[in-house]
Structure formats: C-alpha cells, structure tokens
Amino acid sequence: MQAIERAASLSCWRGRVDPEPLGGGITNVNFVVNDAGRKFVVRVGEDIAVHGVKRFNELAASRAAHAAGISPAVVHAEPGALVLEYVEGRTLDADAVRADGMLERIVPLVKTCHREVPNHLRGAVLMFWVFQVVRDYAHTLREGDSRHLDKLDGLIEAARRLERAVGPVEIVFGHNDLLAANFIDDGRKLWLIDWDYAGFNSPLFDLGGLASNNELTTDAERWLLERYFDRAVDETLWRRYRAMKCASLLRETMWSMVSEIHSEIDFDFGEYTAENLARFERALEMFDDE
C-alpha cells in the first residue's frame, strides 16, 4: 500500500490518479498511471545496497538511453520514484527472443547501448564488474547466515577461475540485465528498459547474459558473437565469452540467494535460485570440458 500511495502522490500529476500494478518486476514495484489522457510507468524503489543499485545511476542511464533513442523518456524523477513514458507494445519472452529474425533486431540495439549511450551520460555513473559483484554477494550471504553458506567457497573459487579466463576486457556501457522482459517491441522498433544495473562493463557480459537468460543454442551464440564483433569467432574469443556467460549465470544465482533474505518483493526466490544454480553448474561443466 505504501508504494501505491507513493506513486499516486507524485508532484508531476495534473489530476487525481489511480496507479495500477504492473507485474513482472523483481527489483522494483512498478505501476501504470493514466493522467490527463496519457499513460506513464512509475518505478518505486530506493537504493538497494545489497545489490549495488543506486537510483542516481539508474536515472542517468535512463536519460542517456532515451537520448540515444533506445529507451522511453524520463518524465519526472524524485527520491524513490521514477516516471517514464509508457511504451505501447509487446514485452518479449525467451521464445520471442529466439524467434526468427529477433536477434537481428536485438544486436543493433545492444550495440547502440554499448557505443552511443555513453555519449549522452552526465555526471558520475557506476562500473559493473560481475566478479566484484559476486564477491560482495558472498560477504552479504555470510553476514546474513544464508542457507547456501555451504556452497559459497566453491562458487567463489569458480568465479576466480572464470575471471582469469575472461582476461583483459574492452569497456563499453552495459545494460547488464538483458532478461527478455526488458525488451519491448512496439511493432516498429525495439526498446530497452529498466536500467537498475547499468554501468561500464565488458560487452561479453551483456552478450553472455542475453544468451543465458534466453537459452540460446550454441549456433545462435556463435551467430550473435559474429554479428556483434563483425568477424569470425576464434577459439580465444569463444572461451572468453563462455567464461563470461558462466559468470552471468553465477551472478543471477547469487543475486537470487541474496534476494531470498533481503527482498520484500512477492516472488519465489528459492525456486529462482535453484533454477539458476542448476543452469550455472551445467554451463560451468561444459566450459571446463572444452
């Protein structure tokens, strides 16, 4: 009730509004608002220290992504709330991402995020280095007496091996959360939304996350890398990419472990942890067997 009251009371509204819950989010509480004949999305949420989510960073990334033409406009922002233009369209799922022709539309969007969004950024923004994220998650889980304590030493050792395998990286501006639900197709163009975890990073993290979140086939992964880098995929690039893909699954697993003990969102994080841990273990086994 507190979140809906917060959404309804924002100073930007021209009249009385009745926010409608918008499902799907597992980081924020989101609403759709009709005001004076226009629709908006309201994202309600404070900083989330355990996940490194800083709202100043989300706001800067959202504004820059709109300026780059890939994300809806920020209409209003104040502490704990962000109001965006509503995009009428279809939210993708994993099947839609894998559908014929969709990756051909997604790759240019990801490249624009990586290359063009930084040209519009203002002020300080964060860096997102997945291996630091998982190390910090391990500390948080130990401090919170997580039910997964017995797994942490093995997960951190795997992270060390993966970080060595990734090696030196190119730095771009990453979205860092390429779940299918963060793409909207309005029938003419694709939009990329939800910049909670945005920050400078290796392009391999977004590419690995896109593949792992949407369960791309190996052939689709190789096509993805060739289209993104405009060159054939050699074994060095393939191994570095596969290491980062494993890291993206490890981060999602440990994100969920932390959320089990810290999130107030109504979501089955225990099941989500189990699903992602199983996927991470399969991907790590395949990586080690190569």
Distance separating alpha carbons of residues 276 and 254, to the nearest angstrom: 9
- The residue with tokens 């030196």 is 168
What's this model's pTM, rounded to 2 decimal places?
A: 0.95
Q: Which of 284, 191, 202 is nearest to 242 (CA)?
A: 284
- Tokens standing for 196? 């909670």
Amino acid 27: pLDDT: 73
42-90 pLDDT, tens digit each? 999 999 999 999 999 999 999 999 999 999 999 999 999 999 999 999 9
Amino acid 24: pLDDT: 67
Residue numbers in the chain where pLDDT is lower than 50:
none
- Tokens standing for 24? 């799907």
Q: Kindly report the backbone phi and psi dihedral angles of residue 196, in degrees, each rounded to the nearest multiple of 5, phi listed first.
A: -55, -40
Distance separating alpha carbons of residues 24 and 267, to the nearest angstrom: 10
167-199 pLDDT, tens digit each? 999 999 999 999 999 999 999 999 999 999 999
Residue ranges and CATH numbers for the domains of the chain are 2-85 (3.30.200.20), 90-289 (3.90.1200.10)
DSSP string, 82-150: EEEEPP-SEEP-HHHHHSTTHHHHHHHHHHHHHHTGGGG--S---B--HHHHHHHHHHHHHHTT-TTHH
Q: Kindly report the backbone phi and psi dihedral angles of residue 229, in degrees, each rounded to the nearest multiple of 5, phi listed first.
A: -90, -5
Q: Which of 7, 24, 2, 180 is nearest to 84 (CA)?
A: 7
